[in-house]
Structure 1
Amino acid sequence: MCVSPTRFSRLAQLFAPVLVSIALSGCVSSGQQARPKGPDPYYVAMYGPRPDERFPLPATDISKADPRYLRQQVPYATYEPPGTVVIDTQDRFLYLVQDGGMALRYGIGVGKAGLEFAGEARIGRKAEWPRWIPTSDMVAREPERYGPLAGGMDPGPTNPLGPRALYLYQGDRDTLFRIHGTREAWSIGKAVSSGCIRMFNQDIIDLYSRVPEGSRVVVLQAEPPIGPPLDAPVATVADGAPLSF
């Protein structure tokens, strides 16, 4: 069948938008298929290197991290006032309570069974690139591992406390319980430490900048996160041993 030039021109005008739309959808589809897989660039930047630190920090590898444990603002229902740090050991989250029913949530690593802390405390001391000394109980439990370190370890990239540490006190007593960084990013979301709370290095630096000394800390084991403030500080260590990293 023959088509006159005039009619062909009208058909071309009629179907041109459809053809352009098909072509563009093909380009978009190809672009989506070509997009590399991996963590969101937003989080890659968040956990990027920190060359400005006293000991320059490399980027944290979050390629295998559960996205739930990456730092994010979330709705959070609690009676605790803004500025309170709530540690949910069961779900492996640390919350910094904010105004308006929100909180900044961080993923954490927690203590092994039998070495957990529960109750209330306050941040009695803050330290950048802290020195670490294993407790006498840790040396007694694992002399081969901790004996050579009984005199302490200087700050640095291999120090188990990482770039920052928050020391928890009850009254004037150091509980020996810490919130600190770790270079073992794989341990976030797990129960592997000797009792303290581990965070990604970039996260402990962020939290450290947000909480002053004296801030209230509530450590929950199996309790739900919402509940009235407790009247008196209570803390327990399941096996009676003091805690360190």
Structure 2
Amino acid sequence: MTLKTATLVTGGSAGIGRAICEMLLAEGRTVINLDYVRPDWQHPKLAFFQADLTNAEQTQAQARSITQQYAVTALVNNAGATRPGTIDTASLADLDYVVALHFQASILLTQAVLPSLRACGNGRIVNISSRAALGKPERIVYSATKAGLIGMTRTLAMELGGDGITVNAIGPGPIATELFRNSNPEGAPRTQRIIDSIAVKRLGTPEDVARAAMFFLSPDNGFVTGQVLYVCGGTTLGTAAI
């Protein structure tokens, strides 16, 4: 039996993940959303699998279910959580949570879909990192693990390039998602200061990030790998290496 090809997106129920799913669906692709929250939207070519991605057993079980039903030719490791805190206040529980979500889940899912990524000859992996990987106060565990995703991206690009698989990362800056608004309410002085610090003088949208993901996910873009694209409105200017 030939399995239907699909793109797997974690955390696709809302925010950046949803925008990526919607653009993939608009392109006619079959999309799998793996999230712990059931989406409040539907599409004929969207499949939903539910799991707490910080739980290794749940993640592996759903990965098995997915790979038994679909040939995954592209993977977007998008699910994330901030867990704000300084070095004085960060807890071991915070660290364990973001490591499990950002690292553990990404590695387990990459391992699960590697056979189909290799088999298709032009597999694609996109890891959603963050501008915070370059440093951000009060985000010690978040910035550290998002920086780690960049290291993982570069290593995977080297290991998998010979199989035709590209691996790239996106580092979103301030994006107007529900997660961002929870910490930075619209109209608040802190939020305005953030906007004023952005070169283009506006917050990004989930669609801004999704368009970047679509570039990396294209089967035709096989000569770009191991790269980080900061979708940040210019907030990395003066900090990111050339």
Please report the TM-score for the alignment, with normalisation by the length of structure 2: 0.22
Higher relative contact order structure (alpha carbons within 8 Å, sequence separation ≥ 6): 1
Q: Say which structure is richer in helix.
A: 2
Please report the TM-score for the alignment, with normalisation by the length of structure 1: 0.22
Answer with 1 or 2: which has the greater Rg.
1
